[in-house]
């Protein structure tokens, strides 16, 4: 009777060990999020956020004038903003980063 209980515990531990061994490397994870483009006006220092545009580069002049003062607008930075779930996953596996490099 008790042998089945021991076997169940044994296989459960074996399953945990195998799960830890065959963890997927970070390269295979899907990343969800969005690319944020931050625009800055050189005259009034106002920041604007827009969606991703493949034609935008950092430091580039934008043809659309500033909505507040009509000044020249530049692309200040472009970055990837992961969604909260992806961000949590990144933090969780950050300690394994060196292992996969
Ligand atoms: Zn402005």
| pLDDT tens digit sequence for 19-77 | 877 766 555 555 677 889 999 999 999 999 988 888 899 999 999 899 999 999 999 99
Q: How many other C-beta atoms are found inside a 10 Å radius of the C-beta of residue 58?
A: 11
Spatial distance between the Cα atoms of 89 and 99, rounded to a whole number of angstroms: 16
Q: What is the pLDDT of residue 7?
A: 92
Q: What is the pLDDT of residue 66?
A: 92
Q: What is the pLDDT of residue 45?
A: 92
The whole-number average pLDDT for the span 2-14 is 91
Place of tokens 């295979």: 28
pTM: 0.53
Report how far ligand 1's centroid is from the alpha carbon of 45 (Å): 6
Report how far ligand 1's centroid is from the alpha carbon of 48 (Å): 10
pLDDT: which is higher, 33 or 12: 12
Convert 31-56 to b/e letters by CB count within 10 Å (16 or more is b).
Answer: eeeeeebebbbeeeeeebeeeeeeee
Report how far ligand 1's centroid is from the alpha carbon of 33 (Å): 29
Report how far ligand 1's centroid is from the alpha carbon of 76 (Å): 14
Helix (H, G, I), strand (E, B) or coil at 101: coil
């Amino acid at each position: 009777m008790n042998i089945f209980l021991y076997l169940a515990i044994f296989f459960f531990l074996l399953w945990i060990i195998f799960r830890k061994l065959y963890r997927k490397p970070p390269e295979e994870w899907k990343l969800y999020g969005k690319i944020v483009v931050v625009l800055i006006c050189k005259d009034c220092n106002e920041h604007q956020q827009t969606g991703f545009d493949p034609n935008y580069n950092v430091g580039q002049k934008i043809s659309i004038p500033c909505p507040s003062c009509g000044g020249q607008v530049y692309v200040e930075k472009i970055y990837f903003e992961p969604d909260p779930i992806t961000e949590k996953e990144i933090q969780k596996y950050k300690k394994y980063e060196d292992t996969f490099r």
